Amino acid sequence: MAGYQDKPISPSAPLSAKALHWVDQRFPLSATWKAHVSEYYAPKNFNFWYAFGSLALLVLVIQIVTGIFLVMHYKPDANLAFASVEYIMRDVPWGWLVRYMHSTGASAFFIVVYLHMLRGLLYGSYRKPRELVWLFGVGIFLCLMAEAFFGYLLPWGQMSYWGAQVIVNLFGAIPFIGPDLSLWIRGDYVVSDATLNRFFSFHVIAIPLVLLGLVVAHIVALHEVGSNNPDGVEIKAKKDANGLPLDGIPFHPYYTVHDIFAAAIFLIVFSAIIFFAPEMGGYFLEFNNFIPADPLKTPPHIAPVWYFTPFYSILRATTSQFMYALEFGVIAYVALILTKSRLSGFIKMIIAGAAVLALIGMFVFDAKFWGVVLMGVSVMILAGLPWLDHSPVKSIRYRPDWHKYVYLVFGVAFLILGYLGVLPPTEARTLVAQICTFIYFGFFLLMPWWSTMGNFKPVPDRVTYQPH
């Protein structure tokens, strides 16, 4: 930064160059551009999976801009909220487009983020030295879930109202503090105008501020340690005489062009959905949400939006009968840790003690409480990935072939949980959800063992790259 302050500029330089020099003397604009874009060296073997991070940033901008225009006309009042949304859709010029961009953008955000997380899972982007990058990413995911939940009530339709009622009531299952916690979240004894106002303030101000801070931290942490690549090879290990990675290329212009191309394809699909199928058959916008909220009439089937349904299925799968299988699972898992783990004796004692307390709790507290616990743990367990994966290689390319089937089974179980979450529960569906729940948690909890098994392929010293 001092270099920019001391560097002279020719009197005959263009006005734009002089203006930039004046700014650089007072603010590190060019230095920031170089550090994070034009002179940030990324691996030269990126594939299409690496476009989803930039697409997530694009969708975030779309959501913020459309949200600003919606707030100009929206009324956070229980008596006016639904009518104000209808006013936006029918009377505000291009209001229908802005509203559909925002509602479709919510689903697009989760699609892009899920694919972004899948890429990190496949290529080991959470492994050393990128643990903090992954933790910031998990924080972003949690903020997205909170943002979507708080925004879901705002249209004040039937499904919004009753969905919020069900989710808030789940907190009532927490022992001792549950009823008071539910009351505090609602601000009233039922979902009402007070609930709408506090959800509106969280959705518009509080969560976006935290989300933007986490996004900045995620990008800064990534650029500090460098990007991962499909081979899982650290490009900083091989540098030329100038200290530049031999297998790296500047992010700009090479990957900015790639990202612009990916953004163009994304926007074509995004626009097609907005103009031709904004409700997406009731998955993006439920049909019951086009009916004003009626506290006296409960919909026959209440389900959250599709991006919450895998975790909602885990909640519903936790029945009183399922608790027996869960107790057996806890005992078997602790036995596995005590006999097959390399952890110290002290840590094993702590784990055994925690397991005993959990088993006692399973007899004391009902299945509803443990359903809420499992739903929360199913999200939070993602943060433990950097310490659960003990594989000697990062990328799935160099793992045993049967590892790919482990990932495939996990992905199929996750999709099945998501699909079952939008359907009314039956005995058969509940049984399938319980099996998929065990697969979901087994993937993570057994990872310290299965991730080290098999014959691993040799990892190259440098990235594999085919010019195109």
Q: Which whole-number Å values give the CA distances from 293 to 77, 435, 452, in the listed order?
A: 12, 35, 52
Tell me which residue of 121, 116, 83 sits closest to 404, measured CA to CA: 121
25 and 3 Cβ atoms separated by less than 8 Å? no
The answer to whether 36 is a known ligand-binding residue is no
Backbone angles phi, psi at 11, to 5 degrees: -60, -25
CA 452, CA 446: separation in Å to the nearest integer? 11
* Helix intervals (H) in 72-157: 81-90, 95-123, 131-152
Closest CA to 50 of 389, 395, 443, 386: 395
Residues paired with 248 in a beta bridge? 43
Backbone angles phi, psi at 428, to 5 degrees: -65, -45
Pinpoint the alpha helices (H) of 153-255: 158-170, 178-186, 193-201, 207-225
| CA–CA dist 194, 199 (Å, integer) | 9
Query: Which pair of structure tokens corresponds to residue 75?
Result: 């009324």
- The residues, ordered by sequence, that sit 6+ positions from 448 with a Cβ below 8 Å of its Cβ are 341, 388, 389, 390
Please provide residue 160's backbone torsions phi and psi, each rounded to the nearest 5 degrees. -60, -50
d(CA 440, CA 315): 13
What are 247's two structure tokens? 């297998």
Q: What gap in Å lies between CA 174 and CA 165, rounded to an integer?
A: 16
In whole angstroms, give the CA distance from residue 106 to residue 108.
5
Any known ligand binding at 116?
A: yes
Distance of CA 285 to the CA centre of its chain: 20
Q: Does the annotation flag 21 for ligand binding? A: no
Q: Which residues in 80-101 are b (16+ Cβ under 10 Å) and which e?
A: ebbebbeebeeebeebebbbbb
Q: Residue 52: in which H helix or E strand, if any? A: helix 52-71
Show the tokens assigned to 365: 């507290």
Does residue 232 come out as left (phi exceeding 0), alpha (psi in the -120 to 50 range) or beta?
left
Q: State the binding site for heme b.
A: 102, 116, 203, 218
Q: State the binding site.
A: 102, 116, 203, 218, 223
Q: State the binding site for a ubiquinone.
A: 223
